[in-house]
């Protein structure tokens, strides 16, 4: 009896879709990083941390919250925050309710540099999203990506 070979996994639509997601993310992140470096002299990782801190009403997060938000290891986040402290963009603060915890807080200089980077980012988004997708497509994409992110 002859065995039928399974369909080639590389042609599976799920594999293709995931590959497109990874490729798109990598290309967008790489080109945004290039824009931020060129115009603001700011690494993308700095931008991500500053954005997370700005979203917080208090302007600060615990170190593990920063790591979770930017999807870095705790060791990698510690080194990243060290570099940002050296650049005067953030500062470490002791947590008043937990002496073992350390907060990362955005500085005034960090706020200003983030404002500069956001101008570059918004121009980038006009070119890469608004210029390529209409409003309905952007809404659909946002809903689909949110649905995928809610699964975890």
DSSP string, 37-62: HHHH---HHHHHHHHHHHHSTTSEEE
Q: What gap in Å lies between CA 14 and CA 70, rounded to an integer?
A: 26
Q: What is the pLDDT of residues 4-63, one digit of tens each?
A: 545 677 788 989 999 999 999 999 999 999 999 999 999 999 999 999 999 999 889 998
Report the domain count for the chain.
Answer: 1
pLDDT of residue 8: 74
Q: Residue 141's domain is classified under what CATH number?
A: 1.10.10.10
Domain range for 100 is 14-150
Q: What is the pLDDT of residues 88-98, one digit of tens each?
A: 999 999 887 88
Q: Is residue 141 part of a domain?
A: yes
Q: Is residue 30 part of a domain?
A: yes
Q: Is residue 1 part of a domain?
A: no
pLDDT of residue 104: 95
* Percentage with pLDDT > 70 across the chain: 94
Q: Is residue 4 part of a domain?
A: no
Q: Is residue 3 part of a domain?
A: no
């Amino acid at each position: 009896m002859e065995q039928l070979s399974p369909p080639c996994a590389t042609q599976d639509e799920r594999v293709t879709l995931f590959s497109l997601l990874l490729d798109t993310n990598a290309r967008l992140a790489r080109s945004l990083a290039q824009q931020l470096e060129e115009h603001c002299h700011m690494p993308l990782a700095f931008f991500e941390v500053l954005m997370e801190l700005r979203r917080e009403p208090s302007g600060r997060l615990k170190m593990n919250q920063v790591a979770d938000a930017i999807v870095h290891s705790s060791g990698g986040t510690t080194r990243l925050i060290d570099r940002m402290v050296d650049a005067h963009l953030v500062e470490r603060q002791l947590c008043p309710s937990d002496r073992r915890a350390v907060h990362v807080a955005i500085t005034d200089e960090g706020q200003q540099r983030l404002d500069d980077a956001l101008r570059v980012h918004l121009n980038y988004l006009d070119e890469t999203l608004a210029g390529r997708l209409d409003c309905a497509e952007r809404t659909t994409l946002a809903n689909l990506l949110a649905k995928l992110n809610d699964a975890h």
